[in-house]
Amino acid sequence: MSPYHFLLLIISITLSFIFIYAHNDGFSVELIHRDSPNSPLYNHNESDFQRSTNMLHRSINRFNSLALIPQPIITNSGGEYLMKYSIGSPPVEIMGLLDTGSDLIWLQCEPCISCYHQSSPIFDPIDSDTYEDIPCSSVQCREVLGKTNCSSSSCEYGITYTNNGFSKGNLAFDTLTLRTSGSSSIKFQKMFIGCGHNNKGPLSPGFSGVIGMGFGLTSLVSQISLSINYKFSYCLTQTQTTSKLNFGANAIVSGLGVVTTPLAFGLAPTFYYVSLEGVTIGSRRIEYFITKKENSTTIKGNLNGNLKGNMIIDSGTALTFISKRIFDEIQSTIRLLLKLNTVRDPLNLGRLCYNNPSLVLQRTPYVTLHFAGRADVELHQSNIFFPMSPRTLCLAFAPTVSDTGILGNIAQTNFVVGFDRKKRTVSFKRADCTKY
């Protein structure tokens, strides 16, 4: 048993176990893109161009927090998909921002010292029969958060965001309910949550808080890992159609066309790292190397547990960020193959942009990402170019000088992406996520 699974077992026992009114057959829930008309963040006054521009600006900010500043006290600045869930007994439905780059489920709570506007009523713990504050002196506070002292009797948390937002409050247990895509409900008792009494922007108004999906012990998938056999997957869309988040047996990715790569290790234990070995455009393969700054030698990872990661899989970042050397070679190869006149990049990232979308999509070459373990993920045209306006398409990749890149959600659109946290693998399978 790995140290991670051993610690998870200890914490699960310490938390008096998570009692589950559920089954092991698997279940799925719906995700809403934040720019969908069904989202509380949807702005009717914005054009599609403004929404695209805002999404990609958020993508740049998020990359800066995930890949460039992987410090545990600084978390990312948001995400792109929302999920409804209920908290408390009787259950109160709220909407949280799904985040594969953080480790805590937190929500705004009464009494509010400072709270931003949200579309649903703010949760009041007094009204929940199953709410229970976690004392500062408890084993849970010490072992889960490493707390050795508190300014009050409650176990307190504080999350600082790279965009100057924050959430502060106390940690507690309560019942969390998920409504499945089949309209049934699954309850998880004694879930570890953060009750935020002091929350400040620029967190986007509308949603209640964040649903952490990372590798840390307090994330949603970590807390329910025993009931879902350590598996979850998603199938994302960039349209008004809802996306799917799957757990347990529903999360298994199987059948023709599935490729699987090991999850790797990186600087921040929260994130889902993989090792990208190369990129092929048309018939040209470009090798991707991970270098170690201390001695400028290539790190030779292997598939037996010590593979070094150079890319984070993240559902909350739109663009795919990749080493500038690789990015430049990708761009020059695509430019050569398309043989079309380019236009200025609206975001000034130096990306290829064109004003004749139909011709671009006809000529777009095959692009394949080669991950460790011979996992070759062939991208569709919609994973490679993204519409900035009805007339303008731009490359959905961006350059970075960091050793660590991000596989963004545009590149993941219309793939089932499945995580097996016990086997430490991630699988990809092409799918129509509007019908999944």
- 74 and 159 Cβ atoms separated by less than 8 Å: no
pLDDT at 262: 97
pLDDT at 7: 44
Close Cβ partners of 283 (under 8 Å, ≥ 6 residues apart):
none
Q: How many CB atoms lie within 10 A of CB 283?
A: 9
Q: List the one residue out of 223, 201, 198, 270 whose CA is nearest residue 85.
A: 223
Residue with tokens 């430019």: 335
Residue with tokens 């029969």: 129
pLDDT bucket at 264, cuts 50 / 70 / 90: very high
User: Any idea which of 7-21, 123-137, 203-217, 256-270 has the lowest mean pLDDT?
Assistant: 7-21
pLDDT at 145: 67
Tell me which H or E stretch contains 383: helix 381-384
pLDDT tens column, 279-313 = 999 999 999 875 444 333 333 445 555 788 999 99
Query: How far is Cα 29 from Cα 34, in angstroms, rounded to an integer?
Result: 16
Would strands 166-179 and 156-161 be described as parallel, antiparallel, or unpaired? antiparallel
Average of per-residue pLDDT across 230-246: 90
pLDDT at 166: 84
Average of per-residue pLDDT across 212-222: 92
Give counts: helices (H), strands (E), the chain: 8, 30
pLDDT tens column, 75-124 = 454 568 899 999 999 999 999 989 888 888 999 999 999 998 888 899 99
- pLDDT above 70 (res 155): yes
Q: Which one is predicted more confidently, 211 or 307?
A: 211
pLDDT bucket at 13, cuts 50 / 70 / 90: very low
pLDDT at 148: 56
Give the catalytic positions in this structure: 99, 314
Q: Which of helix, strand or coil describes residue 62?
A: helix
pLDDT at 203: 55
Cis ω on the peptide bond leading into residue 111 (within 30° of 0)?
Answer: yes
Average of per-residue pLDDT across 174-188: 90
pLDDT at 281: 95
Residue 278 phi, psi (nearest 5) = 180, 170
| The token pair that represents 366 in the structure block | 């095959």
pLDDT at 5: 46
pLDDT tens column, 123-132 = 999 999 999 9
Average of per-residue pLDDT across 47-62: 72
Query: How far is Cα 325 from Cα 14, in angstroms, rounded to an integer?
Result: 48
Tell me which H or E stretch contains 199: strand 185-200
Q: Which one is predicted more confidently, 69 or 229?
A: 229
Q: In the chain, what percentage of residues exceed pLDDT 90?
A: 53
User: Any idea which of 20-24, 335-339, 376-380, 409-413 has the lowest mean pLDDT?
Assistant: 20-24
Query: How far is Cα 361 from Cα 382, in angstroms, rounded to an integer?
Result: 8
| The token pair that represents 329 in the structure block | 């070679």
- pLDDT above 50 (res 135): yes
Average of per-residue pLDDT across 216-233: 94
pLDDT at 20: 40
- pLDDT above 70 (res 263): yes
pLDDT tens column, 393-414 = 999 999 988 888 999 999 999 9
HSE-up (13 A, CA, CB side) for residue 232: 20
pLDDT bucket at 54, cuts 50 / 70 / 90: confident
pLDDT at 410: 93
- pLDDT above 50 (res 17): no
- pLDDT above 50 (res 187): yes
pLDDT at 149: 63
- 304 and 372 Cβ atoms separated by less than 8 Å: no
DSSP result, 410-425: HHHTTEEEEEETTTTE
pLDDT at 64: 66
As a whole number of Å, the CA-based R_g of the chain is 21
Q: DSSP code of 64?
A: I
Q: Domains in the chain and their CATH numbers?
A: 3-34+79-227 (2.40.70.10), 253-430 (2.40.70.10)
Average of per-residue pLDDT across 257-280: 94
Query: How far is Cα 407 from Cα 136, in angstroms, rounded to an integer?
Result: 38
User: Any idea which of 25-34, 48-57, 366-375, 385-394 has the lowest mean pLDDT?
Assistant: 48-57
- pLDDT above 80 (res 2): no
Exposure of 416 by Cβ count < 10 A (0-12 exposed, 13-18 middle, 19+ buried)? buried
Give the E-state strand segments of 213-331 in sequence order.
231-235, 243-247, 259-262, 273-274, 276-281, 284-287, 291-292, 297-298, 311-313, 320-323
- pLDDT above 50 (res 228): yes
